[in-house]
C-alpha cells in the first residue's frame, strides 16, 4: 500500500512538473478536458436548477388538479384537424359537472384570453395577463393577499366589475398609493380594485401566467360582452378532487358524464380533453431528460478532443523520459510500476482540467444567481460526477502511453538518452 502511495506522490510530482516546465503545451492539452467537463456540468447544473425550481413552483398547486377543455396540454394522438372541430366547454357544462361529480372538493370556470392594457389616471401597464374566473378560483389556487380580498360568489355570478391586482401590476399602476377602492380602466370600462396579491416572485412555470403580473376578475363579465364562442376566449373547467381520490376513476366519471351531456355516441372519441397537472409534470420530466441527453451528446465531443490532447501529452512525456524509464527498470522497477506511474499522471492531469472546469461553472452559477431571479445550483453530486468523469477520461487517454512506457526495453531506453 505504501508503494502505491509513493507512486501516486511521484506521479503528482511529474504532473506538476509538466505544468511548470511546459505551461503552454500542458494547458492547451488540458483545455479540451476543461471545456468538456465545463459543458457537461454547466448543462446538468442548469437543467437540475430548472427542475428544482419547477418542482418547487408546482408544490404550490395541487398536482391532481384536473383541467377540462377543448385543447390538450400535452401531446395527443387526435389529428390536429379533428381537434380544431372540438366544441369549447361551456359555462352550462361547468355547472353540470360541478353539481353532478363526486369526489370533487372545488371547481371553477376560467377563460384563457389575450393580454390587455390597463390604466389608472395617467399610468398604464401594457400586456397584462388577464385571468377571468369564477369565485372558487381563490380556493383552488391558494391565493395570498397583501391587501383586500378576492371577489365573492355574488360578485362572480353577477359579473360585477371588480378586480384583484397582482403585486407587480398594483406597483406599476399605483406605486405608493393604496389601490383598494380605486377605479382602473380595462376593456374600455371601469373596475373597482378590491384586492392585491402578495408578491410571489418569478416562477419557472405558471399555468396561465405569473400571478404577480396578472389581474383577476369575474369571468361572467367577459362572457357577457363577448359571448360563448369568441375566438379570443378559451373556456376551461378546473376541478380540484378531494384528497386521496382515485384519479383514474374520477377521469372516467368526468368523461362519461360530459359525453352523456354532449350526446357523444358509443364508439366515438371524446370531443374534449381531460388534463391532470401530475401528467404535466411527467411531460416536464421527459423534456428535462432530453435536455440532459442533448448536453451529454454535445459535451462528449469536447471530452473526446480533450482525451486525444491528454494522450498526446502523455506520449510526449514518455518520449522525454525514456532514459529515466530505462534507469528505473535497471534498478528493479517492475512493468506495472511504470504503467501505474504514467496512468496516475494522466488521471491527475485530467482531474486538474476537470477542477478548472468545475470552478468556472461555480463562478458562473454565482454570477447568474446574483443578477437573475433564478437560483443556479452546482450540486455536490455534479461535482463528484465531473471529477469522476475527468478521472475516467484520464484513465482511457493514458492507458496506451502507459502501456508503451511499461514495455520499453531498459537497455534500449538508457541508450536512447545518451
326 three-state secondary structure: helix
Lowest mean pLDDT among 156-165, 199-208, 236-245, 360-369: 199-208
- For the chain, state the CA radius of gyration: 32
Q: Are 182 and 245 in contact (CB under 8 A)?
A: no
* Stated pTM of the model: 0.62
Distance CA 238, CA 223 (A): 17
Average pLDDT on 310-331 reads 76
Tell whether the torsion through CA atoms of 111, 114, 120 and 125 is positive or negative: positive
Residue 186: C-alpha distances to residues 126, 164, 216 (Å): 11, 13, 12
182: phi then psi, degrees, rounded to nearest 5? -80, 160
pLDDT band of 28, cuts 50, 70, 90: confident
Query: Among candidates 227, 233, 211, which has minimal Cα distance to 113?
Result: 233
CA angle 244, 245, 246 (to 5 degrees): 120
- Which one-letter DSSP state was computed for residue 268? S
Higher pLDDT, 193 or 53: 193
SS (H, E, C) 116-185: EEEEECCEEEEEEEEEEECCCHHHHHCCCEEEECCCCHHHHHCCCCEEEECHHHHHHHHCCCCCCCCEEE
The answer, yes or no, to whether residue 267 has pLDDT greater than 80, is yes
Percent of the chain with pLDDT over 90: 25
Residue 93: pLDDT band with limits 50, 70, 90: very high
Q: Under DSSP, is residue 407 helix (H, G, I), strand (E, B) or coil?
A: coil
Q: What is the pLDDT of residue 59?
A: 59
In this model, does residue 203 exceed pLDDT 60? no
- In the prediction, which pLDDT does 237 show? 93
Among the listed ranges 209-223, 258-272, 295-309, which one has the minimum average pLDDT value? Answer: 295-309
How far, in Å, CA of 153 to CA of 190, rounded?
20
Q: For residue 95, what is the enclosing H or E element?
A: helix 91-100
Is the pLDDT at 88 greater than 60, yes or no? yes
Q: What is the mean pLDDT of residues 406-418?
A: 69
Indicate the domain borders of the chain.
Answer: 2-57+283-416, 105-236
User: Average pLDDT in the 58-81 region?
Assistant: 77
Nearest residue to 12 (alpha-carbon basis) of 313, 321, 325, 341: 341
Three-state DSSP state, 204 = coil
Segment among 12-16, 122-126, 404-408 with least mean pLDDT: 12-16
pLDDT in tens, 166-179: 999 999 998 888 89
List alpha helices for 321-379, DSSP H: 322-330, 335-371
More confident residue, 82 or 305: 82
For residue 118, the cross-strand partners are: 125
**Range of weakest confidence among 84-98, 255-269, 320-334, 382-396:** 320-334
Query: Can you tell me the distance from the alpha carbon of 218 to that of 275, in angstroms, rounded to the nearest whole number?
Result: 23
Question: Which of 166, 211, 237, 195 has the alpha carbon at shortest distance from 61?
Answer: 211
Task: Average the pLDDT over each of 235-244, 277-286, 317-326 and give the range with the smallest value.
Answer: 277-286
Amino acid at each position: 500500500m505504501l508503494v502505491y502511495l509513493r507512486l501516486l506522490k511521484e506521479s503528482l510530482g511529474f504532473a506538476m512538473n509538466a505544468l511548470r516546465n511546459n505551461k503552454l503545451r500542458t494547458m492547451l492539452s488540458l483545455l479540451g478536458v476543461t471545456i468538456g467537463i465545463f459543458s457537461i456540468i454547466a448543462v446538468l447544473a442548469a437543467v437540475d436548477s430548472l427542475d428544482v425550481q419547477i418542482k418547487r413552483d408546482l408544490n404550490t398547486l395541487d398536482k391532481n388538479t384536473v383541467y377540462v377543455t377543448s385543447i390538450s396540454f400535452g401531446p395527443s394522438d387526435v389529428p390536429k384537424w379533428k381537434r380544431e372541430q372540438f366544441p369549447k366547454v361551456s359555462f352550462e357544462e361547468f355547472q353540470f359537472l360541478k353539481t353532478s361529480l363526486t369526489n370533487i372538493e372545488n371547481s371553477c370556470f376560467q377563460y384563457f384570453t389575450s393580454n390587455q392594457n390597463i390604466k389608472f389616471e395617467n399610468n398604464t401597464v401594457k400586456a397584462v395577463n388577464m385571468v377571468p374566473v369564477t369565485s372558487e378560483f381563490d380556493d383552488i389556487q391558494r391565493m395570498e393577499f397583501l391587501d383586500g380580498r378576492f371577489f365573492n360568489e355574488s360578485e362572480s355570478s353577477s359579473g360585477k366589475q371588480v378586480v384583484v391586482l397582482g403585486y407587480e401590476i398594483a406597483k406599476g399602476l399605483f406605486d405608493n398609493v393604496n389601490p383598494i377602492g380605486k377605479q382602473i380602466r380595462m376593456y374600455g370600462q371601469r373596475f373597482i380594485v378590491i384586492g392585491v396579491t402578495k408578491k410571489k416572485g418569478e416562477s419557472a412555470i405558471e399555468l396561465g401566467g405569473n400571478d404577480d403580473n396578472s389581474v383577476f376578475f369575474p369571468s361572467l363579465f367577459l362572457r357577457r360582452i363577448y359571448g360563448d364562442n369568441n375566438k379570443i376566449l378559451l373556456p376551461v373547467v378546473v376541478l380540484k378532487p378531494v384528497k386521496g381520490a382515485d384519479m383514474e376513476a374520477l377521469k372516467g366519471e368526468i368523461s362519461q358524464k360530459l359525453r352523456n351531456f354532449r350526446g357523444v355516441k358509443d364508439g366515438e372519441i371524446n370531443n374534449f380533453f381531460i388534463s391532470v397537472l401530475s401528467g404535466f409534470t411527467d411531460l416536464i420530466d421527459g423534456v428535462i431528460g432530453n435536455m440532459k441527453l442533448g448536453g451529454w451528446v454535445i459535451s462528449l465531443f469536447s471530452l473526446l478532443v480533450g482525451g486525444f490532447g491528454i494522450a498526446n501529452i502523455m506520449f510526449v512525456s514518455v518520449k522525454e523520459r525514456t532514459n529515466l524509464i530505462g534507469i528505473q527498470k535497471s534498478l528493479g522497477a517492475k512493468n506495472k510500476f511504470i504503467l501505474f506511474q504514467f496512468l496516475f499522471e494522466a488521471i491527475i492531469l485530467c482531474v486538474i482540467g476537470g477542477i478548472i472546469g468545475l470552478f468556472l461553472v461555480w463562478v458562473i452559477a454565482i454570477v447568474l444567481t446574483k443578477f437573475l431571479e433564478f437560483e443556479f445550483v452546482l450540486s455536490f453530486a455534479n461535482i463528484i460526477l465531473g471529477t469522476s468523469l475527468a478521472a475516467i477520461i484520464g484513465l482511457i487517454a493514458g492507458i496506451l502511453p502507459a502501456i508503451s512506457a511499461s514495455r520499453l526495453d531498459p537497455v534500449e531506453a538508457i541508450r536512447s538518452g545518451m
